[in-house]
A and B are shown apart, each in its own frame.
Chain A
């Protein structure tokens, strides 16, 4: 998948996954590494940026005998951003689908 294209959709995917429930950076890596083909060094800086922009926040969460882990959740600004990106994605994907469908019909 093209690098620039992936970069565009990664933010949307991250926000969506976090909207489904608090996630650690490793949870996100596991969810996204294969389908999108990104590594931790791509996910982590984006998480930090989204947090510094106030779209994410984090809490330390302890589970079982393991040390506490950082879990990210969406802030109100993050939820708004997710809605905006989803809307953009749907409009774009509809437009592209139509375009591709139209071309296939022609062929």
Chain B
């Protein structure tokens, strides 16, 4: 039974990544579950049939290709958002000559995708990442208080803990919100420095234990191993420590936050070189383009030009997009 559940979860996530609306995702997963049940009733071993189905990611990709209308109609806003963001970036940048933090308007692309794709707590959780980062960068740029305002980012952990459910995690979420408030109060009002970071110790322990920092590797219906969870949770904590170190020691709060991009980058490298999954170059491009955009923009005060790095994403996509018609009947 575990195989069927693992397969369903992986397929659901893969369909989400391909931009299927929630209703369509659930229907497709239900159809595949029915087929697995029928196969096991007729003659086949459930696990053998699941093996024949192949990778959930490939299934989702194929469905996205075969049913383009269903995905595209739902996502006109998402498709338009990069152009709208670029126009807004140029207008605001040219008029005000403030390119940083105007570049935050590019967040409307992931924000609109999350808004279209998710509902309820999932939506809140997804939006919180971009809203909190944008809020942090905006506030910190104009106040200069990169520390202690980074504590606002910890609110993402609170939402994740709450979403995972359970009495202890929900209590942990409430504690985390209070800890953020307490941290900022102690720092701003009482001038207590450094040691009050210990307020976040219980949050950190609970977050690691709950797998909040986890990275999912849903390839061929396999589930993420305990070892992978530990390594990648550790990596997130390590990057947070590196960020704080860069900030406290060399005041590199911005663009030091770029170290967090190493987490998805390492995850992609792990998938490609350790798990042996073929990944197109375009998978890496958003992270590399963002890093180059910020580094070049910051170092040479040239955000008005460095946005060109983002063009590498669609260009690479076009260059590496293979016609895989022939694979369809394999």
Interface residues of B in 33-62 (CB under 8 A from A): 34-35, 37-39, 41-42, 52-54, 58-59, 62
B53 touching A45 by the CB < 8 A rule? no
Interface size class, chain B: 20 to 34
A26 touching B35 by the CB < 8 A rule? yes
Q: A48-B67, A52-B69 are in contact. Are A70 and B328 (CB under 8 A)?
A: no
B interface, over-half SS: helix
| Bound CA span A7–B59, Å | 17
A3 touching B54 by the CB < 8 A rule? no
A 44-88 binary contact with B (CB < 8 Å = 1; else 0): 111011001000000000000011011000000000000000000
Within the complex, the shortest CB–CB distance from B35 to chain A, in Å, comes to: 5
A26 contact from B34, B59, B62, Cβ within 8 A: B34
| Bound CA span A70–B34, Å | 8
* A contact residues, total (Cβ < 8 Å): 25
Q: A37-B329, A38-B329 are in contact. Are A25 and B66 (CB under 8 A)?
A: no
Of listed A29, A37, A38, A44, residue having the most chain B CB within 10 A? A44
B37 touching A3 by the CB < 8 A rule? no
Within the complex, the shortest CB–CB distance from A43 to chain B, in Å, comes to: 10
A7 touching B328 by the CB < 8 A rule? yes
| Bound CA span A27–B160, Å | 42
B326 within 8 A of A: yes
Within the complex, the shortest CB–CB distance from A28 to chain B, in Å, comes to: 10
Within the complex, the shortest CB–CB distance from B264 to chain A, in Å, comes to: 28
| Bound CA span A35–B53, Å | 18
Q: A3-B328, A26-B39, A30-B42 are in contact. Are A45 and B34 (CB under 8 A)?
A: no
Within the complex, the shortest CB–CB distance from B54 to chain A, in Å, comes to: 6
Q: How many A-B residue pairs have CB under 8 A?
A: 63
B 1-36 binary contact with A (CB < 8 Å = 1; else 0): 000000000000000000000000000100110110
**A39 partner residues in chain B, CB cutoff 8 A:** 52-54
**A42 partner residues in chain B, CB cutoff 8 A:** 328-329
A41 touching B59 by the CB < 8 A rule? yes
Within the complex, the shortest CB–CB distance from B46 to chain A, in Å, comes to: 13
A91 within 8 A of B: no
Q: A26-B35, A39-B52, A40-B53 are in contact. Are A49 and B67 (CB under 8 A)?
A: yes
**B328 partner residues in chain A, CB cutoff 8 A:** 3, 7, 42
B58 contact from A7, A41, A52, A70, Cβ within 8 A: A41
B246 within 8 A of A: no
| Bound CA span A4–B59, Å | 19
**B65 partner residues in chain A, CB cutoff 8 A:** 45
B329 touching A67 by the CB < 8 A rule? no
Residue positions of B touching A, CB distance < 8 A: 28, 31-32, 34-35, 37-39, 41-42, 52-54, 58-59, 62-63, 65-67, 69-70, 325-326, 328-329
Complex A-B: 25 CB contacts under 8 Å: A3-B325, A3-B326, A3-B328, A4-B325, A6-B329, A7-B328, A24-B34, A26-B34, A26-B35, A26-B38, A26-B42, A30-B42, A39-B52, A39-B54, A41-B54, A42-B328, A44-B31, A45-B62, A45-B66, A45-B67, A48-B28, A48-B67, A49-B67, A52-B67, A66-B41
